[in-house]
Amino acid sequence: MSTFQTDTLTRRLYSTDASLYEELPKGVAFPENPDDIRRLVFRSAEEGFSITPRSAGTSLAGQTTGSGVIMDVSRHMTRILEINPDERWARVEPGVIRDTLNREAGQYGLQFGPDTATTNRCMIGGMIGNNSCGAFSIKHKTTREHILEIDAVLSDGSTAVFHPLSEKELQNKLSLENLEGDIYRGMLELLHKYRDAIFKNYPHPDIIRRNTGYALDRLCEMEPVTPGGRPFNMAELLCGSEGTLAMTTSAKLNLVPVPKHKVLLIPQFKTLRESMLATVEAVKWNPAAVELVDNIILDATKGNIEQRRNRFFLDGEPGCILIIQFEGDDAEEIAEKAHGLGKALKDKGLGYAHPVHAAEEEMSRVWDLRKAGLGLLMGLGRKSPSPTFVEDTAVRVDDLPDYVEEFQQILQKHNTSCVFYAHASVGELHLRPVIDTTKPEGIQTLKEIAEEVAELVKKYRGSLSGEHGDGRARAPYIETVLGKEMMPLLERVKDIWDPENRFNPGKIVRPAPIDSHLRFSPDYKKPDVDTIFHWRKAGGFDAAVEQCNGAGVCRKLAASGGTMCPSYHATREEKDNTRGRANLFRQLFSGKQQEAFSSEELKDALSLCLSCKACKSECPANVDMAKMKAEFMNGWHKQQGTSAGERFFGQPEKLYPLASAFAPVTNLINRQKPVKVLLEKLFNIDSRRNLPEFASETFESWFRKNRTTHTGRDRKEVVLLVDIFTNYHEPDAAIAASKIIDKLGYDVAFPGIFPTGRPQISKGLLDEASAICTENIHRLKGYADKSMPIVGLEPSEILTLRDEYTDLCSEQDFDDATAIARNAFLWEEFITTELSALDDAPQAGGSTVYIHGHCHTKALVGGDPLMQAFKLMGFEPVALKTGCCGMAGSFGYERDKYDVSMSVGEQVLFPALRELPDDAIVCAPGFSCRHQITDGVKRKALHPAVIMENAFGGM
């Protein structure tokens, strides 16, 4: 069969998901096709291990953790096998990402309806396993309603196809002398015998999202159990069975038309009770979605760089909001609905603001904020831990106000608070009490609340799980909700399908206690290690390594947009995304403590991290893997030493002056093949790369000769921070910048050429970076004290002053570092501010500029300042959605990284650039980005200052 890995690194990576739980598996299998899955099942019988299926691993109830073999279909079984637009269906393998399917189906005006918050990384196999729903379940209901057929491997390694059966087809199934026949015979016998009891004890049929236990109530609605019912279809049972009954190898899915028009109404409330009453009113207007977001999540968006930009629609500080979407083919009709509902709510005194948004870009940003909610609240950290154990209950919509009120009484009894969010339209709210499971009293509270909430769900005849499944967290309480007599039925279902208990044991039936195998328990030992960074914002290194919650946003692919985890885009390996690396950090440092700095496993996992910083903004939990990598590598160097290549790339200021003094000779030598081979052997510089050439004259030299002085004129000064790379390799950018600054009426204050510490940080040479930081704080303090703008040309260098200096510096220097950070600006930030103040800004005549943004800029600032600067000058800027270029400083030059570097470039950037006209103006503010573009597509990209200089010619 395909890859089967038992190394400790891989096992650690797959020991967790997005739930409370952590359990080291026996191994991990990566099947490539159904036959591989069959072979794995046969092997499990021979060797006596269990199999837990997994795709993205974003399950919240612990479904995808276990002690046996984890079967990951996300690496290879990712093909869309067929789309039939005429009959509106698609056939896919279980590892197909929902958004990937919808991009393909969207070409035909179709989509797979269920829309979870994780659609950019969740996979169809997981959606089937959990019977996923999402924000639009009032319209599209659940995954179960959209599954036409499931191809599966049974527990004995045989295969079966499940779909609606005619009477004759059912009789044929019942006559089979194999496990499939046993399943049909056993299930129908059970259903006929207990039909009335099932209907009596299961959640109310008006609840759309009812996933408690196995879906026996759904099967009881079918022929022949209920005469006149729909055709018997065991695929409905497999939806929500969490991989405990059969392994999906492919599925035929129903597709629905993409709505032509959408509009959002976003009423905003002071109290939760108001919003619940408004929900009851809203569902009467036939919306496609009604989603709740409370003030805890809204407050969390303030601390997330990406989501902070998406708060534009909020009026003040609401206690909670509803996001109500209407859809249809008539734009005027749905707009009338939105405004009509807004007026009705206002007339009833429900809500203080009722804005309506119909612009596509605005609606997308609203939904981005809503979808980030889970990760945001999970990223609140150990200060406000909110474990997922009762967050998935569902009741009838009319019962929701009273249910929530009683839920709050339970919280008050236990002296805790709760996050409220999600799918109000169908009676399901994700309710996340704040509980610290690292304390014995926290564990006791968790168990008491779990039991009391199960009793409350029973009272309202609700569902313990609405969409996230029972898994480990809720399975112990199914008996409370469904009743004691239902448990033998559920166990019998498991035994009929899986008599040897090979498939995902302990989920749904026969579970371990809720507090077994917890990731954070009273036995958890916090990391206590010596670090160079102070980890001030995170609250300590221990808090930083615990920050990841497993939500898996880092598993989204390049086609979904964003930059995070470019190496994962290239390799699709869990060790190459933020979640995988963060899990290793937590496991190793909480166990080995200081010794973890010598971990080969963690070094391997970090080897392909490009330190792009995208996780700092795109990860809802704001995990800063670039900083964590730098800290680890610093500790590694202290224990294991530093390679010649790391010294070569990490200390350019020591080599550049001499190399530049003989620029023509240096350049000639570096181009020679024997020299390239030697550099590869000595410093790990890939011989396929061309090193950047040294300029015949540095900026520093040019500035001494051409510095303009304006005697007798009262001019302010701007500090131009020219980095080493710009000075020695591309001084034209600094020359252009200095000329523009002069024409804007400023004198250029040039503090000289010196390192900022960026290369040292990237290579984990933090002692040196810290010394550089201290020296530069003292060097730049005087400028900051005068509030002089410190303007940088290379984004990664100037943003080091803003991002790392305030965490590298001593307490004594902290205020000065903060002042410097406050006065440090990207080139485009400075230019935008200056041009906005001009009555007559220089104009470029409408030239189109295609912009590839720098990763650090996108993570820490965003692309708006550069776009705005070009617009103010009369350019027509186009922001290319290109993610990471793949060069990342020295990363792409290294021999063992070259292939990944180019693969990252090929994800989005290179194809996008190849589509541009030959004479297109391409702007890339990043030095390494420009060189990657040259190497990848043989096109010259320019620094924005170089492009802008011509427009200033007439000033």
User: pLDDT confidence of 622, banded at 50, 70, 90?
Assistant: confident
Report the pLDDT value the prediction gives residue 787, as an integer from 0 to 100.
Answer: 95
User: pLDDT confidence of 518, banded at 50, 70, 90?
Assistant: very high
Identify the residue with better confidence: 800 or 306: 800
Identify the residue with better confidence: 250 or 377: 250
> Rounded distance, CA 37 to CA 156, Å?
11
Is residue 938 included in any domain, yes or no? Answer: yes
Cα-Cα-Cα-Cα torsion 297, 303, 305, 309, nearest 10 degrees, comes to 60
> Rounded distance, CA 133 to CA 113, Å?
9
Residue 180 has pLDDT above 90, yes or no: yes
| Pairing outcome for strands 921-923 and 848-851 | parallel
Is residue 551 included in any domain, yes or no? Answer: yes
Bridge partners of 21, per DSSP, are 518
Q: Which of 590, 604, 646 is nearest to 766 (CA)?
A: 646
User: pLDDT confidence of 380, banded at 50, 70, 90?
Assistant: low
- Asked if 90 and 124 touch (Cβ cutoff 8 Å), the reply is no
**DSSP-assigned letter for residue 693:** P
> Rounded distance, CA 407 to CA 686, Å?
61
- 852, burial (CB in 10 Å: exposed 0-12, middle 13-18, buried 19+): buried
Which tens digits make up the pLDDT trace of 914-933? 999 999 999 999 999 999 99
- 710 Cβ contact partners less than 8 Å away, ≥ 6 residues apart: 747
Question: What sign for the dihedral angle of Cα 306, 126, 253, 81?
Answer: positive
Helix axes 179-201, 167-174, angle to 10 degrees: 120
Question: Which residue, of 577, 600, 632, is where some domain finishes?
Answer: 632
Q: Which of 624, 606, 631 is nearest to 767 (CA)?
A: 631
**DSSP-assigned letter for residue 383:** G
- Asked if 433 and 449 touch (Cβ cutoff 8 Å), the reply is yes
Which tens digits make up the pLDDT trace of 48-98? 999 999 999 999 999 999 999 999 999 999 999 999 999 999 999 999 999
Residue 935 has pLDDT above 90, yes or no: yes
Strand locations in 333-459, DSSP E?
A: 356-357, 418-422, 430-433
Question: Which residue, of 327, 348, 379, is where some domain finishes?
Answer: 379
- Cα maximum dimension of the chain: 103
Report the pLDDT value the prediction gives residue 379, as an integer from 0 to 100.
Answer: 55
Coil, strand or helix: which one is 679? helix
Question: Which residue, of 344, 379, 414, is where some domain finishes?
Answer: 379
> Rounded distance, CA 211 to CA 202, Å?
10
- Asked if 112 and 101 touch (Cβ cutoff 8 Å), the reply is yes
Q: Tokens in use for 553?
A: 């946003």
Q: Looking at residue 270, which CATH number applies to its domain?
A: 3.30.70.2190
Is residue 318 included in any domain, yes or no? Answer: yes
Mean pLDDT rounded to a whole number for the chain: 94
Q: Where are the alpha helices (DSSP H) in 243-372?
A: 272-282, 295-302, 305-308, 331-347, 360-371
Residue 439 has pLDDT above 60, yes or no: yes
Helix axes 673-683, 663-671, angle to 10 degrees: 90
> Rounded distance, CA 550 to CA 59, Å?
9
Q: Which of 945, 449, 606 is nearest to 744 (CA)?
A: 945
- 735 Cβ contact partners less than 8 Å away, ≥ 6 residues apart: 699, 702
Residue 513 has pLDDT above 70, yes or no: yes
Mean pLDDT of 850-861: 95
Residue 295 has pLDDT above 60, yes or no: yes
Q: Looking at residue 911, which CATH number applies to its domain?
A: 3.40.50
Q: Where are the alpha helices (DSSP H) in 248-320?
A: 272-282, 295-302, 305-308
Give the phi and the psi of residue 948 in degrees, each rounded to 5. Answer: -75, -25
Looking at the structure of the chain, the number of domains it has is: 3
> Rounded distance, CA 177 to CA 200, Å?
34
Residue 650 has pLDDT above 90, yes or no: no
Q: Which of 725, 745, 743 is nearest to 734 (CA)?
A: 725
Report the pLDDT value the prediction gives residue 396, as an integer from 0 to 100.
Answer: 93
| Pairing outcome for strands 256-257 and 110-111 | antiparallel
Is residue 229 included in any domain, yes or no? Answer: no
Give the phi and the psi of residue 590 in degrees, each rounded to 5. Answer: -75, -20
Return the percentage of the chain with pLDDT > 90, whole number.
Answer: 86
User: pLDDT confidence of 711, banded at 50, 70, 90?
Assistant: low
Residue 630 has pLDDT above 70, yes or no: yes
Strand locations in 740-865, DSSP E?
A: 746-749, 790-792, 824-826, 848-851
Report the pLDDT value the prediction gives residue 713, as an integer from 0 to 100.
Answer: 64
Which tens digits make up the pLDDT trace of 272-283? 999 999 999 999
Place of tokens 């991290």: 609
Q: Tokens in use for 306?
A: 């990406």
Is residue 188 included in any domain, yes or no? Answer: no
- 183 Cβ contact partners less than 8 Å away, ≥ 6 residues apart: 154, 160, 234, 496, 497
- 448 Cβ contact partners less than 8 Å away, ≥ 6 residues apart: 414
Q: How many CB atoms lie within 10 A of CB 166?
A: 11
Helix (H) or strand (E) holding 53: strand 51-54
What is the span of the domain harbouring residue 301?
257-379
Bridge partners of 290, per DSSP, are 324
Question: What is the C-alpha R_g of the chain?
Answer: 30
Q: Tokens in use for 702?
A: 């040019």
Is residue 802 included in any domain, yes or no? Answer: no
Which tens digits make up the pLDDT trace of 525-577? 999 999 999 999 989 999 999 999 898 999 999 888 889 999 999 999 999 99
Bridge partners of 212, per DSSP, are none
Q: Tokens in use for 230?
A: 């729909």
- Asked if 596 and 633 touch (Cβ cutoff 8 Å), the reply is no
Bridge partners of 824, per DSSP, are 790
Strand order in the sheet with 247-254: 80-84, 89-92, 247-254, 147-153, 159-162
> Rounded distance, CA 108 to CA 110, Å?
5
Place of tokens 């009881």: 220
- 487, burial (CB in 10 Å: exposed 0-12, middle 13-18, buried 19+): middle
Is residue 363 included in any domain, yes or no? Answer: yes
Q: Tell me, what amino acid is at 675?
A: V
Mean pLDDT of 847-862: 95
> Rounded distance, CA 429 to CA 418, Å?
11
Give the phi and the psi of residue 750 in degrees, each rounded to 5. Answer: -110, 105
Bridge partners of 254, per DSSP, are 89
Is residue 20 included in any domain, yes or no? Answer: no
Coil, strand or helix: which one is 463? strand
Report the pLDDT value the prediction gives residue 79, as an integer from 0 to 100.
Answer: 98
- 86, burial (CB in 10 Å: exposed 0-12, middle 13-18, buried 19+): exposed
Place of tokens 């109000």: 424
Identify the residue with better confidence: 309 or 673: 673
Q: Spell out the long-range contacts of 156-161 with Cβ–Cβ below 8 A and sequence spacing 24 or more.
A: 156/41, 156/45, 157/38, 157/39, 157/41, 157/42, 157/45, 159/34, 159/38, 159/249, 160/246
- 63 Cβ contact partners less than 8 Å away, ≥ 6 residues apart: 17, 19, 52, 129, 130, 242, 243, 469, 471, 472, 504, 507
User: pLDDT confidence of 2, banded at 50, 70, 90?
Assistant: low
> Rounded distance, CA 901 to CA 689, Å?
11
